[in-house]
Amino acid sequence: MHRLMSRAAATALAVTAAAALAQSAPAPAPTPTPGHPTFAADGTVHVPAFDLPPSALSSPEAQRFMTLRAQVRMPALFVDDIAKNRMAIDAMMGSQIGAMKALYPVDITEGTIAGVPVRIVTPHGRATDPARVLINLHGGAFSVCWGSCSLLESIPIAGLGGYKVISVNYRMAPEARHPAAVEDAAAVYRALLRHYAPRHIGVYGCSAGGALTAQLAAWLPGHGLPQMGAAGIFGAGGVRFMAGDSAWIAANIDGSFPAPPRAGETAIDMTHGYFTGANMADPIISPALHPAVIARFPPTLLITGTRAMDLSPAIVTNSALVKAHVPSELIVGEGMGHCYMYMPGLPEARDAHRAIVDFFRRELQ
């Protein structure tokens, strides 16, 4: 027995020593295999070129939509001419408004609340929920898309859910800088508190509007205002854009946005300077990085896609909310890109609209 134990101990010691030696000694460079990834010493993965077909798990409509991308090119949205940018994005996105209205009939009026221009969208021919209201913060890189994105985000939720949706035309770049947008959103929210209980006010948005929704949820408790009843963060997260794995992956499989800059490259500022001079890790801009801030969030719904550059921010934010014991739901659309709910012809988009309505109906009690 003693000999057996001694041999076992010697064997274990040898294995441990070999493992320690393997960890301390530099590993031999792997022989590259054609068609396979290789790994650099700093952890960078060199990915081989590959063909990615439309996901077989996505709807037939989504698969057909992917074939159209060979015929339709994204407009050059990242040029310096902001007027040209705004016209280009509204022309592209505005083509979906008619189909969205046909699916979800609504009435639209213009107005101002607390001095901030707003668009009020209500269901056509139906009673509007008298006790609850939703605030929409539109997408558009904090610089564009008020004209079209505000409608594409508000119409389905008002028409399907029977809500009054107030879309906020917050100040954008290059005319304004952070925190102008969150100040305008907070001003509208403060005014609505005169007529609605905070637990009956929901806020949501996609892309920049999703990020701004997270900023508002971080802003309110720190400025003496009660927290909103529920938040919808779509196509975004509570951390800055263009960070995490998905920024690199989406740039090469979706192509709607450029990849983060490599060493020596200059980053493309999609926001036209909106965050110039701001600390992007600030608790308002990136609340998911601050446990004490994220812990004060309301119940939150996040929606992203497997091919979206915002997938990583959404995952990180959901994880932070779960860790803080804040009710959080994450929906990831298979084969979907950035803010896919803008496309009324996709079943996945209509599923997202229903999920948003159901979420607010459940949480704004």
Residues 6+ away with beta carbon under 8 Å from 69: 255
How far apart (Å, rounded) are the C-alpha atoms in residues 250 and 306? Answer: 9
* Contact between residue 165 and residue 151 where contact means Cβ atoms under 8 Å apart: no
What is the pTM assigned to this prediction? 0.89
Closest CA to 133 of 122, 142, 141: 122
- How long a stretch of residues is the chain? 365
| Structure tokens that stand for 206 in this block | 């996609």
For the packed helices 146-161 and 347-363, what is the interaxial angle rounded to 10 degrees? 70
Q: What is the pLDDT of residues 12-37, one digit of tens each?
A: 444 344 444 444 545 555 565 667 88
Other C-beta atoms closer than 10 Å to the C-beta of 281 total 11
How far apart (Å, rounded) are the C-alpha atoms in residues 55 and 142? Answer: 31
| Structure tokens that stand for 91 in this block | 């022309």
Q: What is the pLDDT of residues 209-231, one digit of tens each?
A: 999 999 999 999 999 999 999 99
* Contact between residue 181 and residue 170 where contact means Cβ atoms under 8 Å apart: yes
How far apart (Å, rounded) are the C-alpha atoms in residues 349 and 62? Answer: 10
* Contact between residue 363 and residue 229 where contact means Cβ atoms under 8 Å apart: yes
Q: What is the pLDDT of residues 289-332, one digit of tens each?
A: 999 999 999 999 999 999 999 999 999 999 999 999 999 999 99
Structural domains of the chain in order of their starting residue, each with its CATH number = 60-258+270-363 (3.40.50.1820)
How far apart (Å, rounded) are the C-alpha atoms in residues 33 and 36? Answer: 6
Q: What type of residue is 258?
A: P
Percent of all residues in the chain with a pLDDT value above 70, rounded to a whole number: 88
Specify the DSSP class assigned to residue 365.
-
Q: What is the pLDDT of residues 35-70, one digit of tens each?
A: 788 989 999 888 888 889 999 999 999 999 888 876
